[in-house]
Structure 1
Amino acid sequence: MDKPRHRYSRVPVLDLLRLAAVAAVVLYHYGFWGPTSTSGISLVALPALAPVGQYGFLGVSVFFAISGFVIAYSAEGRSWIGFTIARFSRIYPTFVLCMTLTFTVMLVAGAGHLTRSQWFANLIIAAPLVGQPYVDTVYWSLVIEVVFYGWIALFMMLGWFPRHIDALILVWLAITFANELTIDAPIFEKVFIADDSGFFAVGLLIYQHYRGRRGARFWSLFALAMGTAIFQATHKLERLGAHPDSTFDPRVVAVICVVGLLGVFLATRIKRIPLPATFVLAAGGMTYPLYLLHMELGYLFFSATKPHDHAAMAVTMIIAGIAVLAWVIWRFVEPWMHRLVKSKLTQLASRFGWSSTSHRLIKTQPDSD
């Protein structure tokens, strides 16, 4: 008998890992990679945290691994149309709201040289494709997520996912190494997510384990994906090393990757945690708007207050305020936007005779979809 979808059916520890990952990214942006002043000097709010904060970029990598798991789970029981609708309605309305909010506040404050064309360009998420800058540079990771969703939807349409997941992952990782070690073409990097494919692959395989898969073939593929992810994370240090204060240790990066990815793996094995379900749900749910809002808005508020002697307190208050705003968006705004967009798109799909579900058994999802 089919189980009904339930919006609160989640893997609880993944929600806490989401919050930990976004906290790492916040630490990175406030303790290491701050806004650039007119003199070209990076204005880091908490420079004393740089030795730790510089590794916070790996929080995004952990997000990608979690995304691999969640997307594989979200695809179960859906057609490619249903999957696309679910992802679009989950990601896009919140993005437009947060992007517009950031744009409006920056425009009112007179920060930067914002234009109407820039706002319109950011509606497609990948604004640089049409020659406009991001309203907030954190959107680069959302572009990668959308490319990943696009590949999964395509493979679902062709009937290859998840049926031929091993072959897809092997080809993907082969393309990754071919690009990273030889041609190093930017178009391959973007189209095939060659800088982050290992993390997504690990997430996809963790879902396979979650569904009961074991055996030498699985563990060999899992080890290959883990190794690829570690290679990609350390390979990124060449680019991040351009920062004047960078003191990256590749060994530390490798350890963080292993701990983070194994943390995602173990999270799927823990069914219950001694924390209120509402708290855990909120911790995971608010991370998306918090991620979208924390950087440019936070930099703007920090620059406006100029807290020379109380920077730590100012940053704490700014992040707390943005976190409250993110919670309000998740709790009161996201649900109706999600339902409205999903309902309209499902109705539109039905007019063309496109079904949102597949003939496979529908399972409860670990995400709000």
Structure 2
Amino acid sequence: MSAPPAPDTGPMSPAGTGPIPPAAATAPTPTPPPAPGTGQEPSAERTAKAAVRGGGHPVRLRALDGLRLLAALMVAGYHYGGRGGEITEAWGSSPRAQFPTLSSYFAYGCLGVQIFFVISGFVICMSGWGRPLRSFFASRVSRLYPAYWVAIILVTGVFALPWVAYEAVSPSDALVNLTMLQQPLGVDRVLGVCWTLWAELRFYALFALFVVLPGATRHRVVLFCAVWTLGSALAEASDLPLLDVVLMPEYSSYFIGGMGIYLLHRFGHDALAWGIIGISFLIGQHYAVRELWHPAGVDAFSYRSATGVIAVVAFGYAAVTLIAMGKLNWANWRWLTVAGALTYPFYLVHEHLGWVAVWALHQELGIPSHGTFALTVLVMLGLAWVLYRCVEQRFTPVIKRSLSTVRL
């Protein structure tokens, strides 16, 4: 498993997104809700006043950037030390043998994806508010694709090297991967983590169609959350593949929870927003436990307790909620902005190129497992920084400007 990317003017999604591309971590401070029963949104003037602090500068939610990186590192820990598969070949033995104590904790790292999805619901609701469809479309495409295209080319090229033990996908499949639609088309994936991007794309499409296109309002977002929650339950009950693909019942609750948290952030304490958050958490923990819990057994490498799974999911919801309510504004260190910016490219490259790095450092150079783990993470973060500086910063604005002039 893996996680999603980052959005707009700030560090990562989900995708997301995520995994995870997220939107900007710059957001307005909460504004008071409209008078009960009026059915009116706050005026643009009130919203603009609430959106600035000290000289008219937007408040940057740097703690959200830090949470993104934490979620990405959780996923990396899972891929390097909390599961079997190809990473076993890189280590030369099971990660359980390499990390006898830590492997059981690394196994929970896959839940970083669920945290990414909650962040993505918050961030996409924030970045899409008050935006025309064309602008929203341009921001998502320009944010998701540049680093993704380079990651596809990098992994395909490295795996094609004769001394690398892992097999590259066919040239035709690699080309299809550039569309980010390889999963529904049944094509071999270049990046294992791209399944989360497919979930992010479907969320973006639903949000664009039912919120951005008609215009984002509190009532419209509440209605969208309610209808999507009910539709997801019906999709689960009906067992119709098309509904499952469109409504994503196993992931929708996390995106919905993030949107509920954004309503809390924008309008203050609100029974409806708290209700959306609470219901989405109750449903989300159900799917997380159902999909990720394994009964205890001598062969159950990825054993996780149901209580542990629930606790990690609850941590994700609680952390995003605390950030939204301003309780973590003290975590305003400038380096968190850079950390958030590295999250999406790190998420894209860390798994497959990490296999090669682990093999080279551990088996070829003989570096102990803990040192190899730390060095691999640092190397992947360094590569992410290069992708951010040389690819995202250079090409994202160009693509965004070009698409912003396209008529939809």
Q: TM-score range by the shorter chain?
A: 0.7 to 0.9
Q: Residue deviations 1:158-188, cap 9 Å, x none?
A: 51644422222122112222333x3444433
Unaligned runs of 5+ residues in structure 1 are 355-369
Q: Verify the 8 A CA contact 2:119 2:320 in the aligned structure 1.
A: yes
Does 1:312 find its partner at 2:370?
yes
Letter in 2 for 1:73: M
Superposed counterparts of 1:267-346, under 5 Å: 267-268=323-324, 269-270=326-327, 272-273=329-330, 276-277=333-334, 279-307=335-363, 310-346=368-404
Which residue of 1 is the match for residue 122 of structure 2? 69
C-alpha displacement at 1:222, in angstroms? 2.2
- Cα 1:241–1:185 change in 2 (3 A) is farther
Matched position secondary structure for 1:247: coil
The CA deviation at 1:305 is: 4.0
The verdict on how the C-alpha distance between 1:8 and 1:310 changes in structure 2, with shifts beyond 3 A counting, is farther
Give 1:328 deviation, angstroms.
2.0
Please point out which of 70, 73, 76 is paired with 1:20. 70
1:53 to 86, 96, 106: 106
- Correspondence list, 1:1-369, <5 A: 10-36=60-86, 43-44=94-95, 46-48=98-100, 49-108=102-161, 109-110=163-164, 111-156=166-211, 158-159=213-214, 161-162=216-217, 163-180=219-236, 182-237=237-292, 244-268=300-324, 269-270=326-327, 272-273=329-330, 276-277=333-334, 279-307=335-363, 310-347=368-405, 349=406, 352=407
Maintained 8 Å contact 2:294/2:302: no
Describe the shift of the 1:34–1:316 C-alpha distance in structure 2 as closer, same or farther (beyond 3 A): farther
Change (3 A) 1:186 1:25: farther
Q: Is this contact kept in 2: 1:67–1:203, CA < 8 A?
A: yes
Aligned partner of 1:360 in structure 2 is none
Identity score, percent: 28
The structure richer in helix per residue is 1
Distance 1:83 1:252, change over 3 A: same
1:272-292 CA-partner distances (Å, limit 9, x unpaired): 335541x11111010000000
Partner of 1:358: none
Long gaps (5+) in structure 2: 1-44
Aligned equivalent of 1:363? none
User: Matched residues in 2 for 1:200 and 1:239: separation?
Assistant: 25
RMSD: 2.8
Q: 1:283 to 1:100 in 2, by over 3 A?
A: same
The structure-2 alpha-carbon separation of the partners of 1:26 and 1:259, relative to structure 1 and needing over 3 Å to count, comes to: same
- Between 1:324-333 and 1:290-299, the stretch displaced more is 324-333
Q: Report the Cα distance in structure 1 between the residues aligned to 2:394 and 2:81, rounded to whole angstroms.
A: 36
The answer to whether the 8 A contact 1:79-1:156 is kept is no
Distance 1:51 1:217, change over 3 A: same
Are the aligned partners of 1:198 and 1:229 in contact in 2 as well (CA < 8 Å)? yes
C-alpha displacement at 1:157, in angstroms? 5.4
Aligned length: 346
Go from structure 1 to structure 2 and tell me whether the alpha carbon gap of 1:157 and 1:318 turns closer, same or farther (over 3 Å shift).
closer
- Opposite residue 370 of structure 2, the aligned amino acid is A
Query: Would the aligned equivalents of 1:198 and 1:232 in 2 still touch at CA under 8 Å?
Result: no
Distance, in Å, in 2 between the alignment partners of 1:118 and 1:240 is 36
SS at match of 2:257: helix
How far residue 233 of structure 1 moved from its aligned partner, in angstroms, is: 1.1
Distance (whole Å) between structure 1 residues aligned to residue 333 and residue 293 of structure 2: 42
Q: Which residue identity does 2:258 align to in structure 1?
A: G
The secondary structure found in structure 1 opposite 2:95 is coil
Higher relative contact order, chain-length normalized (CA < 8 Å, sep 6+): 1
SS in 2 for 1:130: coil
Distance across 2 between alignment mates of 1:240 and 1:191: 31
Specify the SS of the correspondent of 2:83: coil
Q: How far apart are residue 237 of structure 1 and its match?
A: 2.3
> How much has 1:121 moved relative to structure 2?
1.0
2: CA distance, partners of 1:76 / 1:179: 28
Q: What TM-score do you get using the length of structure 2 for normalisation?
A: 0.77
